[in-house]
Every structure is written in C-alpha cells, then in structure tokens.
Structure 1
Amino acid sequence: MIQTVLSTLVEVIVPLSIPVTAGALLGRYKNLDTKPLLTLYLYFLSPAIILDTLAKAEISLDDVYKTLAFALLNLLFLWIVAVLLGRILRLAPPEAAGLTLISTFTNSVNYGLPLVLLAFGQLGLDKASVYVIAQMVIVNTIGVYFAARSQFNVRSAVKSVFALPAIYAAILAFLLRALGLQLPHELATGVSMVAGAYSPVVLAILGAQMVKVKAAHTERNVQLAFWTGLTVRLLLAPLIALLVLLLLNITGTLFSVLLILASMPVAVNSVVLAERFGSSPSLVSRCIVWTTLASFLVLPVLIAAVGSV
C-alpha cells in the first residue's frame, strides 16, 4: 500500500506540483496578475476542454444520470452536515455561511480535471466532464444562495450560469453527439490544441491564488470554524461521497473519478462568493490553502485505495 501511495505521489502529484509551484513563485516574486489569466481560463480554455472532452467522451446516458444524481445527493448531505455543525457550534451567520461553502464546493475544475487526467487517463477525464459541468451550474446558483441567502436572486443566479461560455460549449457538444455529427477536422484540431493548454495554465493560476489567499488575515473567532471546515473537507467529505456512491450503486472508473472529485480541496471560487457576500472570506481563504496543501498527501492515498478496489 505504501509503495502504491508513493508511486501515485511521484506519477500524479509531482507533475501537478510543477505548474502550481511555478504559479506560486510568479505570484510571490513577480506579482503575477491572475485576472487576465482567469479571463483566458474562463472564456477560452474552459470551453475548449469541455467541448473537446464531451464531443469525444465515451460516456453513456446511464453515466450521465448517475453523475447528476451523485452531484445533487452528495451536495445535499454535505449541506445538512454543514448546517448541523454550524448550529451545534453556534457559529455566527458569516462563519456558518463560510463553513457551508467550504463543505460543499470542491476545486474540481482547475485542480480536479488535471488530476483525473493524470491518474485515470482520457477515460477518467471523459467521466469527469459531466460532473464538472454540473458543478459549474451548482456553484453559480446554489452556491450564491449558500453565500447570501438574504440577498439571493434566482434571476441573477440563472443569468450568471448562462454567462459561462463552458455551458454553451457543453450544449454544443451534446447537440453534436445527439445528431451524430462531429466538428470539422481543422476546428477539432484547433480546439484540442487549446484544450491541451488547460492544465498547466489553470494549475499555475491555482498556485498564484494560493499565495494571495495565504496572506489573508484570520481572526481568532473563526478558529473553531476553520478546524471544523478542515475536518469536513478532508475526512467527512470522502466518507459521505463513498456512502452516496454505494447508495447509487456506482462502480468502476466512474466510482473512482467521482470519489476523487468529491474529495478535492475547497474550491478557489468559494472565496470570491465569500468576499462578495460577507461569508467570512478569511475563514474560506485559509481553508483553501490548507486543504490544498493537505491534498498532496491525502489524494495519493485515495487514488491508491480506489485503484486497488
């Protein structure tokens, strides 16, 4: 088991750590501005990898249904856990909202996809694509509600979803598959080329963002919420995901991919929601850093474990 974990660490985590480290160094010593890169990621790289992956994905309708069911049921269970813990610990509303964001949303896009590709190959990436699309929709609707229930506006939330180019890329990919069509060879080649740049760019962005959120000030009154969030994301989240997967009778590569994606660190865009709606951004940003760092040890163990099942 130890040998398998070490092998996974070398084969999967080490390659991922190179662009993350490069981004962190650039952010720390060259003050790398991630805003233009985020625009590139959101409006160019993300739609390209979604279109490229979904258009070629070897995934059945049964996998799609099971993935969507898992995404929603897992979210429900995590939300219930976060709400119960918030009440038991008598957290203030901002910390309670921050704990909900920490517990429910994972970095499945700009960390999860490259990890799945390295760990499970193209088949794993195919299986992950539907989950990632579901997460994009959930974060921009339910995520907004979690961050600011009193300010939540259904119309604005839905509008924010359809402002994402990746959604249209997904729709185009599903239409092409439904009609039995393919992109012209020249276009498909160009899209694949852009998709190939996705992993190193978004991982470098993640590294630069980690350096920035690390400097965020954390007040003493959020310490309890911090340790609770860390426990939920690193320990309870994988167990809850495992329970949901068993309930839905999901097996094979889809089982492995969904378990890993549901066990990823706190989503970076959670701190964006926290800052916008006053949901204890210092708590969320600190959890982002520490769950990401811890994931370099936790995820190899999980990958080795699902690989031996």
Structure 2
Amino acid sequence: MIQTVLGTLFEVIVPLSIPVIAGALLKRFTNMETKPLTTLYLYFLSPAIILETLTTAQISYDDVYLTVGFCLLNLILLWSVATVAAKLLKLPAPEQAGLTLISTLTNSVNYGLPLVLLALGKLGLDKASIYVVIQMVIVNTIGVYFAARSQFSFQNAVKSVFSLPAIYMAILAALLRLFDLHLPAGIQTGVAMVAGAYSPVVLAILGAQMIGVKNAELDRQVNAGFWTGLTIRMVISPLIACFCLFVLHVQGILYAVLFILSSMPVAVNAVVLAERFNASPKLVSKCILWTTLGSFLVLPVLIGFVK
C-alpha cells in the first residue's frame, strides 16, 4: 500500500503539480489575467475534450445509468449531511448555503480529469467524461439553487446550462454514437489536438486561481463551519462515495473513477456562486484553498486504495 501511494505521488501528483505551480508563479510575479484563459477553457478546450472523449470513449449504457444514479444518490446524501451539520452548528443562512456548496461541488473538471487521465489512463478518462457532463449540469442548476434558494429560477438555471458549449458537444457526441456516425478524419484530428492542450492549461488556471483565493480570517461560529466543511469534503465524502458505490454494485475501473472524482477538493467555481448570491464567500474560499492543498496528500492515499 505504501509503495502504491508513493508511486502515485511521484507518477501522478508531481506531474500535475508542475503546471499548477507554473500558473501560481505566473499569477504571483506577472499578475497573469485568468479571465481570458478561463474563457478559452470554458468555450474552446472543454467542449473539445468532451467531444473527443465521448465520441471515442469505451462506455456502455450501464456506465451511464450507474454514473447518473451515483451522482444523484451521492448529492442527496452530501446535501443531507451538510444540512444536519449546519443546523447543529446553528449557522446563519449564508453560511448554511456556503457549507452546502463546499460539501456538494467538487473540482472534477479542471483538476479531476487530468488526475484521472494520469492515474487511470484513457479508459479512466472515458468513464470520467460522463461524470463531468453531469456535474456541469448540477453546478448550473442545483448548485445555483443551493447558493440562492430565494432567488432560484428554474428558467434561468436551464438557460445557464445551455449557455455552456460543452453541453452541445455532449449532445452531438451522443447523437453520433446513437446513429453510429463519425466525424471526418481531419476534424477528429483537429479536435483531438485541441483536447490535448486541455490538461496543462486548466491546471495552470487552477494554480493562478489558488493564488487569488483568500485565506480569510473567520469569526468563531463561521470557523466551526470551515472545519466542518473541511471534514465533510476530505473525510466524510469518500466514505459516502464508498457507500453509494456499494449500494449500486459499481465495480472495476468505473468504481475507481467515481470514487476519485467524488473525493476531489471543493470546486473553484463554488466561490463564484457564493460571491454572486452572498453564500459566505470567505468560508467557501478558505475551504477551496485548504482542501486543494490537502488533496495533494490525501488523493495519493485514496488512489492507492482503489488500485
């Protein structure tokens, strides 16, 4: 087990850390703007990797059903845990919303996909693509609801989902697979070339974003929410994922992929929702910072466990 963990640390975490550190240094010393890179990732790289992966992925209908079932069951259980914890701590409404975002939204896109690719290879990435598409929908619908229940509009949530090009690429890939069609060779090669740039660019963005995330001082009550969020994301979340996978009888590489992705640190875009809807952005920011730093130690152990 120790040998597997150390192997994962040097073979997976160290390569991932290079573009993350590069992005952090660029932000620190050149004040690199991340907004143009985020636009590039959201509207160009992300649709390309989704289309390329889903059109060539070795996935079955069982993989789709199990992944959807896992995402929904895992979300409900994490939401329940966060709600109970917030009630016990008597957190104010904004902090309750922030704790729910911390507990349920994971950084499975710009951190999880490169991690799965390095740890589990192309087949792991194939399985992960389904999870990532589902998470995009969850963040832009249920995630908005968690952040601002009083301001939640189903119509606006649907609009936000269909403003993402990756969703259209997922639909296109599904249609191509359904009718057993293929992209022209030249287009497929171009899409694959763009998809190949996904990992280093998004990891550099993550590093730059981490520099911008503030390690805010919190008052005593909210600080209790921070430690609770940290515990849910780093300890309870993997346990709940194991339970869900056991209940659904998930096995093989799909088990490893879903377990790893559901155990990722807090999603960086959670703070975007928190700031937009006043869902305790300081609490969310601090949890993003420390769960991401902690993940460099915790994830090798979890990957060693599933291997």
AA in 2 matched with 1:30: T
Q: For 1:42-53, what aligned pairs fall within 5 Å after superposition?
A: 42-53=42-53
Aligned residue for 1:180? 180
Aligned residue for 1:297? 297
Aligned residue for 1:246? 246
Contact 1:79–1:103 (CA<8 Å) still a contact in 2? yes
Within 2, Cα distance between the matches of 1:215 and 1:185?
48
Aligned residue for 1:57? 57
AA in 2 matched with 1:149: R
Deviation at 1:215, TM superposition (A): 5.1
AA in 1 matched with 2:23: G
Aligned residue for 1:270? 270
Deviation at 1:218, TM superposition (A): 3.9
Contact 1:107–1:266 (CA<8 Å) still a contact in 2? yes
Q: Which runs of 5+ in 2 are unaligned?
A: none
Deviation at 1:203, TM superposition (A): 0.3
Deviation at 1:214, TM superposition (A): 2.9
Within 2, Cα distance between the matches of 1:77 and 1:217?
29
Alpha-carbon displacement from aligned partner over 1:130-166 (angstroms, at most 9, x marks no partner): 0000000000000000000000000000000000000
Deviation at 1:221, TM superposition (A): 3.9
Establish whether residue 257 from structure 1 lines up as the match of residue 264 from structure 2: no
Deviation at 1:4, TM superposition (A): 1.2
Residue aligned with 1:214, SS? coil
Within 2, Cα distance between the matches of 1:296 and 1:135?
22
Aligned residue for 1:164? 164
Within 1, Cα distance between the matches of 2:120 and 2:243?
22
Query: Number of residues paired by the alignment?
Result: 307
User: How many percent identity over aligned positions?
Assistant: 70
Establish whether residue 9 from structure 1 lines up as the match of residue 9 from structure 2: yes
Contact 1:55–1:173 (CA<8 Å) still a contact in 2? yes
The two structures have a TM-score, normalised by structure 1, of: 0.98
Contact 1:218–1:286 (CA<8 Å) still a contact in 2? no
The two structures have a TM-score, normalised by structure 2, of: 0.99
Deviation at 1:73, TM superposition (A): 0.6
AA in 2 matched with 1:52: E
AA in 2 matched with 1:185: A
Alpha-carbon displacement from aligned partner over 1:76-115 (angstroms, at most 9, x marks no partner): 0000000000001100111110000000010000000000
Q: Which runs of 5+ in 1 are unaligned?
A: none
AA in 1 matched with 2:71: A
AA in 2 matched with 1:152: F
Aligned residue for 1:283? 283
Aligned residue for 2:198? 198
Aligned residue for 2:89? 89
Alpha-carbon displacement from aligned partner over 1:237-283 (angstroms, at most 9, x marks no partner): 00000000000000000000000000000000000000000000000
Q: For 1:96-175, what aligned pairs fall within 5 Å after superposition?
A: 96-175=96-175
Residue aligned with 2:59, SS? coil
Contact 1:102–1:229 (CA<8 Å) still a contact in 2? yes
Residue aligned with 1:150, SS? helix
Q: CA RMSD in A?
A: 0.8
Within 2, Cα distance between the matches of 1:28 and 1:229?
28
